Structure 1
Amino acid sequence: MASATVPPEYLQANHKKGDPPPFGAVDNVQTIRLSGQPDAVGETQPADCPTIMISTATPAGDHVNGWKEIPIVAGFDLNRLVVDQDTDATLPYYVENTKDLTQIKRVVITTAGIWRNGWKYANNIRNALICAAGRESVNADMDKILVAAPQWLNKEDVAMGAAQPDDVYYHKNTYQRGGPAVGPGDVRMSSYEALDKFIAMFWDKDVYPAVESIAFASHSLGAQTVQRYAMLRPSQPEDSRITYGIMNPGSFAWPVESRPIPPSSQPSCSDPAVYDAWHYGIGPGKPTRIPKYVRDEVLENRGLITERFAFRHVFYGFGLDDHGKGDTHCEAQLQGGTHLERGRNFMSMLQNLPGGYPVNHSVEYVEGVSHLDYHMVCSSLALRRAGLGCVADRDADGFGADAEEDVSVGLVSRTG
């Protein structure tokens, strides 16, 4: 497939720091940065990206006490999807507004980490897509890929004024585990059920007639959200057209009962009813934690849940310098001591499944990157695997390539 050409207005060579983005100014913060020039939240463009980086919005408030607003993002619309027909409860979301929707072939969905800053993740993935379009090795076509991001809210955000009256919201960060909403009113919808409806929106042929696939690109707590969602999502006709991109999660939902670290090392978690319960496993120990809309299925047939997860298209990305502790709960410690160790242990567990390493799963290890969301997704390896590469050939993106064992690390490396 011929390399896509990035439009000249996206090249660093044609800009200086502080220029407005090509699609128009929103404020004096969301302006152009060049490689080596940190944006408003400290993100920097990798030196090998020839394209511009657009600085992230900086709304009032914070993730601890609550956000005071959901900001407008340059090049995106902030829309709301009705996710509960009985109450008209809505899920806010960002979606690019600079593209011809009839030409979109792939939608890339990103979901925020613990800061609930969906605006930053939407901007990061859009910046990464521009970077991908400027790299011949990635072969991206910006015009055929659409970036979107749900905006999760919690009680603190509502109290500080970020939400509209009908916006669905959660307790703390329990949307990560598919927890039930705590408002508005009596709405108790699981965040995963809201994600089901969010995804379904992009299969609407009246709006997106050319869409062929959806890819998640997620990091840290956002990656925990996506991994657990991939584990529990009920079977849908479009399953084979969805890829779940999971980078540097702090912990996993383990599909099998055994753990790489002896349970005896964590006395408070020595019982599988504790360490294997949702959201660290899919055991029956704490059934009320499992999202209600899939609870019976999980409790009645663990083998089916594991097999379905193994069949799904999943990409894992791990920074080789990510030695942070991440999730410090004892359940997570039984999976490994750091982000990277847990990732490697999870890959080894997958390799030892009865059917071997799942044919539709792939993994890449990124040198020189720690727990940095933008630099993870902007690496050449991750750009292709996370759905930001060529949209014409699944094998070219790594979605259907052959698996080869990498005996040097005892894992599986998938190459395309």
Structure 2
Amino acid sequence: MQHRRSLIITLVLSFLTSCSLAAVIKRQQHNDNPFVDGSPDQGWKYLPSVTDAWLWDWVLDEATNATIPLYISAIDSSDYANIKRAVIVMPAKGRDPWGYFNSVNNALYSGAYDDPNLDRNTISIMAPGFLTELDLQAGAAKPSYLLWGKTTWVSGHNNVAPAGVTDFSSYKVIDILLEFYMNRDIFPNLEVVVVAGHSAGAQMVQRYAALRSPTTNDDRLRFWTANPGSLLWLTADRPAPDTSCDGVDDYKYGLASKIPAYAMADYNALGRDGIVERYLNRHLNYAWGLADNGAGDTRCQAVTQGASHLERGENFVSMLKDLNSGMIPSAQTVDYVPGVSHDGDGMMSSAQGINRLFQAL
């Protein structure tokens, strides 16, 4: 009898434990990245489905039918009034918006698990795709999609195809996506939009933050830039100067010349000093993994900023302080994430990443 009672107790405890683990697994959902045939160097063959997302062909300009693919949270438009926050995440060098939607979405699952006040139903995630002619040849891009050079979308340059659409900056794409979220008729209760990126996506976000023209909604706009391989330097000097390196202060590394068409009017009107002053007053959240000691961009223009992602970040922060009486600009923040290297998932799912993406106002 004693043995039977012990066996029953063991079975009950085992059942309760399995139920508890199932609950934890359900609450801590983590979606694997979908498999995609192809590669950044050979072109992607198709755009995969992603859990919790809809894949849309987003018409940016009806007159020219300028279109991009993007992933957006699978939320019915009748529920848009519930949305209080949006995160628009840029892809990295691999042109993989599906992976970065998934990274942000997984970080949101982690954040909601730890913070019961973080409601997934009030947050919309969007991940636009900036494809190239390689992707058209391989099959992922439709003939109507805007296409850029292999990495020129990172720096805000104009599209190269299709033939019927010209002079469409990748930064103009972000402008239009922001207008969608900032429209009170569509999202009446939206409080904050975060434009986020890691690695090459972080490069894109940081440069866009510098070149974007101001709007009436800038008080609701935040930029999160994590582990960029290089930065748009604000001053002409560099922490690791190299007199043999040409174009150190030209865009995309500096502001001396070669400004893209997207920002030329503002640059002509404000000059370098005006662009820098405007930038220092924008809401930027910088993040670097303390283990991100890789070289990243090995071009000499990037190396003059520092020897690694982390060192470039530390040098950039020192420059910010030099420009602002020894302090980080009041609208900006800097997070150093322990134990994380060049890892977008790790940066986004860190306590600091979750806070900046989903919680901080």
TM-score greater than 0.5 by the shorter chain: yes
CA deviation after TM superposition for structure 1 residue 296, in Å = 3.0
DSSP 3-state at the match of 1:174: coil
SS at match of 1:74: coil
Contact 1:12/1:50 (8 A) holds in 2: no
Once the two structures are superposed, what CA deviation does each residue of 1:209-268 show, in whole Å capped at 9, x if it has no partner? 21121012210000001000001001111112111000000000011111111233xx12
Of residues 47, 55, 59, the one that matches 2:36 is 59
Which residue does 2:60 correspond to in 1? 83
Structure 2 residue aligned with 1:330:
300
- The 1-side partners of 2:249 and 2:82 are apart by 44
Amino acid at match of 1:83: L
Whether 1:95 aligns to 2:75 is no
Quote the offset at 1:53 in angstroms.
0.4
Alpha-carbon distance in 2 for matches of 1:189, 1:226: 17
Whether 1:182 and 2:160 are equivalent positions in the alignment is yes
Aligned to 1:142: 120
Counterpart in 1 of 2:284? Answer: 314
User: Could you tell me which residue of structure 1 aligns to residue 250 of structure 2?
Assistant: 277
2:193 and 2:324 map into 1 onto residues whose CA distance is 28
Deviation at 1:83, TM superposition (A): 2.1
Q: Which amino acid aligns with 2:223?
A: Y
Unaligned ranges ≥5, structure 2: 1-18
Per-residue CA distance 1:270-325 (angstroms, 9 max, x = gap): xxxx11111001112xx2xx221321322441111101111110001110000000
Q: Does 1:72 align with 2:49?
A: yes
Q: Determine if the alignment matches structure 1 residue 297 to structure 2 residue 297.
A: no
Partner of 1:358, secondary structure, is coil
SS for the counterpart of 1:218 is strand
Match of 2:354, SS?
A: helix
Counterpart of 1:56 in 2: which secondary structure? coil
Residue 329 of structure 2 corresponds to which residue in structure 1?
Answer: 358
Give, in angstroms, the shift of residue 165 of structure 1. Answer: 1.9
Give the length in aligned residue pairs: 338
* Aligned match of 2:9: none
Q: Quick one: which of 183, 186, 192 aligns to 1:213?
A: 192
Q: Which residue of structure 2 aligns with residue 268 of structure 1?
A: 245
Structure index of larger Rg: 2
Indicate the SS of the match to 2:148.
Answer: coil
Distance 1:58 1:164 in 2: 20
Change (3 A) 1:12 1:226: farther
The answer as to 2:165 corresponding to 1:165 is no
- Aligned counterparts of 1:15 and 1:184: Cα–Cα separation in 2: 49
Quote how far apart the aligned CAs of 1:363 are. 0.7
Distance apart, 1:354 and its partner CA: 4.5
Contact 2:154 2:201 in 1 (8 A): yes
Amino acid paired to 2:298: T
Structure 1 residue 368, shift from structure 2 partner: 0.7
Match of 1:340 among 310, 314, 331: 310
Tell me the residue number matched to 1:227.
206
Deviates more, 1:243-252 or 1:184-193: 184-193
Please report how far the alpha carbon of residue 101 of structure 1 lies from its aligned counterpart in structure 2 after TM superposition.
Answer: 1.7
1:388 matched to 2:358? The reply is: yes
In 2: Cα distance, 1:158 partner to 1:111 partner: 20
2:126 is paired with a residue of what secondary structure?
strand
**TM-score normalised by length of structure 2:** 0.89
SS in 2 for 1:388: helix
Amino acid at match of 1:341: E
Report the TM-score, using the length of structure 1 for normalisation. Answer: 0.78
Deviation at 1:50, TM superposition (A): 6.3
Query: 1:356-408: per-residue Cα shift (whole Å, max 9, x none)?
Result: 421111011111110011011101122102x212xxxxxxx2x5xxxxxxxxx
Over 3 Å counting, the alpha-carbon distance change for 1:74 and 1:276 in structure 2 is: same
User: Partner residue of 2:171?
Assistant: 192
CA contact (8 A) 1:81 1:198 kept: no
Q: 1:283·1:299 contact (CA, 8 Å) conserved in 2?
A: no
Deviation at 1:148, TM superposition (A): 0.7
Match of 1:372 in 2: 343
2:90 to 85, 90, 111: 111
The CA distance in 2 between the partners of 1:314 and 1:241, in whole Å, is: 12
Which residue of 236, 245, 248 maps to 1:257?
236
2:22 corresponding residue in structure 1: 14
SS in 1 for 2:153: helix
Distance in 2, Cα, partners of 1:91 & 1:237: 26
Q: Among the aligned pairs, what percent are the same residue? A: 36
Q: Choose 90-99 or 113-122, whichever is displaced more.
A: 90-99
8 Å contact from structure 1 (residues 12, 52) kept in 2: no
Q: Residue by residue, what CA displacement relative to the aligned partner does 1:159-218 show, whole Å, maximum 9, x if unpaired?
A: 111112211110101100001100111423110011101111112233222112101221
Question: Is contact 1:132-1:139 (8 Å) kept?
Answer: no
Distance between the aligned counterparts of 1:354 and 1:208, measured in 2? 36
